[in-house]
Structure 1
Amino acid sequence: MNAVQPIVHIVDDDAAYLRATTRLLLASGFAVQGYASANEFLAREAGSQPGCVVVDLQMPGLSGLDLQERLARSANPMPVVFLTGQGDIASSVRAMRAGAEDFLEKRAPLDELLDAVRRALTRGEQEQALRGRQLELEQRIESLSAREREVLEHVLRGRLNKQIAGDLGINERTVKLHRTSIMTKMKVRAVAELARLVQEIGERKSGAGS
């Protein structure tokens, strides 16, 4: 099964520059889609396909910075490479602080643009993989019943089946059944592996909230 080719989305209200940049990137082996405005890009049928966005800083309506903010809040955020016809230090700083992959002048050599696009695509695929991993882990936790979560807490504290049964007011056989179900749903074979997985979920949630 072939991997899905990531797409370079180019957003620029300068029709001539949009055509020229699209041709250059296509000739360099990238899959490319062009848009004349940020609104046109946002109105596309967005999916989960990996990619990056190459966007003009200054455009009528939504600016490149506005688009960057919208992307960050979307279900499939992608790295952004900014292009500008005029040097703007304040905008550059704002864009980079918000996570832009690069900030280039439109007069920059083609090699610089190609390098920025390659880095953005690599980063985009890595970040998408991390989001997929996080979603999978969350789904495993959510598949546990309320009682199984209670048992899980006691298991992680190192409690024995007999102790858990006493704490929860259930028989030991029921505890064993819950433990088996927990290990199956969490896709682990040992308590140590279960503990590492729960720790990873907690760390990812903390990272996402920071």
Structure 2
Amino acid sequence: MRSIYIVDDDDTVRSELRSLLCVYTNTVLRSFSSGDEFLRELDSLSPALVLLDMNMPGASGTDVLAALRDRPDLLAIVVTGQGDMRVAVQAMKAGAIDFLEKPCEPQALLQTIDLAFETLEQTEQTIARTGQAQRRLACLTARERNVLDALIEGKSNKVIGYELDISPRTVEVHRANMMDKLEVRSLSEALRIAFLAGLIAT
């Protein structure tokens, strides 16, 4: 089930958007009359696209975008006043994935939403893979993690053994246990999990 959240203080805009977005089946539509109302619900919201007005009393669109930095599963499409490109640029810099000018041309809005849903699906898959990788790494003992960290740096079993004051044979045992817990068959697969979990800087 997909979701779209409309955050706009204009009752007419919210109503028009809901009517237009009814073309999406199996999609939950929720409206918020202010940024403050949306932020109060933020922690309980499921992954979704957010159609976000920038100029609202109380918490502005900019305030909402700042709060969404910790929610990569909520992707914002900013809806801004016609000709206000400065606000649009600021919104993109703050994390919005796209912007549209009011009044929105229906077809352009639907095309933007379709592309955003594709991006959201990819984002959710990445988040799921990252979480899985982190859970696997959490199963490693401290010594197995030491071995993995050293392998990430490209060190051989002999060098790892010297630095950890253990024999190369013991390094091999820790390495085998580490790969078993990570459910991988090769070092490249182990490194891929480390990358997904954020151990390897891009």
What TM-score do you get using the length of structure 1 for normalisation? Answer: 0.79
* Aligned-partner Cα distance in 1 for 2:149–2:7: 49
1:193 lines up with 2:192 in the alignment:
no
Find the counterpart in structure 1 of residue 33 from structure 2.
36
Q: Is the 8 A contact 2:62 2:94 kept in 1?
A: no
Which of 4, 7, 10 pairs up with 1:8? 4
Percent identical pairs in the alignment equals 33
Find the counterpart in structure 1 of residue 50 from structure 2.
53
* Aligned-partner Cα distance in 2 for 1:8–1:39: 17
Q: Secondary structure at the match of 1:107?
A: coil
Q: Secondary structure at the match of 2:201?
A: helix
For residues 153 and 123 of structure 1, do their structure 2 counterparts lie closer, same or farther at Cα, with a shift above 3 Å needed?
closer
* Aligned-partner Cα distance in 1 for 2:58–2:104: 25
Shift of 1:27: 3.3
Q: Is the 8 A contact 1:51 1:125 kept in 2?
A: no
1:206 lines up with 2:171 in the alignment:
no
Q: Secondary structure at the match of 2:17?
A: helix
Size of the aligned set, in residue pairs, is: 199
Q: Which runs of 5+ in 1 are unaligned?
A: none
What TM-score do you get using the length of structure 2 for normalisation? Answer: 0.82
* Aligned-partner Cα distance in 2 for 1:85–1:198: 44
Kindly report the root-mean-square deviation, in angstroms, between the aligned alpha carbons of the 2 structures. Answer: 2.7
For residues 175 and 158 of structure 1, do their structure 2 counterparts lie closer, same or farther at Cα, with a shift above 3 Å needed?
closer
1:62 lines up with 2:63 in the alignment:
no
Shift of 1:196: 4.5
1:81 lines up with 2:88 in the alignment:
no
1:71 lines up with 2:68 in the alignment:
yes
Tell me whether 48-57 or 173-182 shows the greater mean CA deviation. Answer: 173-182
Deviations 1:154-174 (A, max 9, x none): 5552325xx755654446664
Q: Is the 8 A contact 2:80 2:88 kept in 1?
A: no
Shift of 1:48: 6.7
Q: Is the 8 A contact 1:101 1:116 kept in 2?
A: no
For residues 68 and 166 of structure 1, do their structure 2 counterparts lie closer, same or farther at Cα, with a shift above 3 Å needed?
closer
Q: Secondary structure at the match of 1:46?
A: helix
Deviations 1:106-131 (A, max 9, x none): 22310111111112222122122212
Letter in 1 for 2:112: A
For residues 200 and 62 of structure 1, do their structure 2 counterparts lie closer, same or farther at Cα, with a shift above 3 Å needed?
closer
For residues 200 and 81 of structure 1, do their structure 2 counterparts lie closer, same or farther at Cα, with a shift above 3 Å needed?
closer
Q: Which runs of 5+ in 2 are unaligned?
A: none
For residues 100 and 165 of structure 1, do their structure 2 counterparts lie closer, same or farther at Cα, with a shift above 3 Å needed?
closer
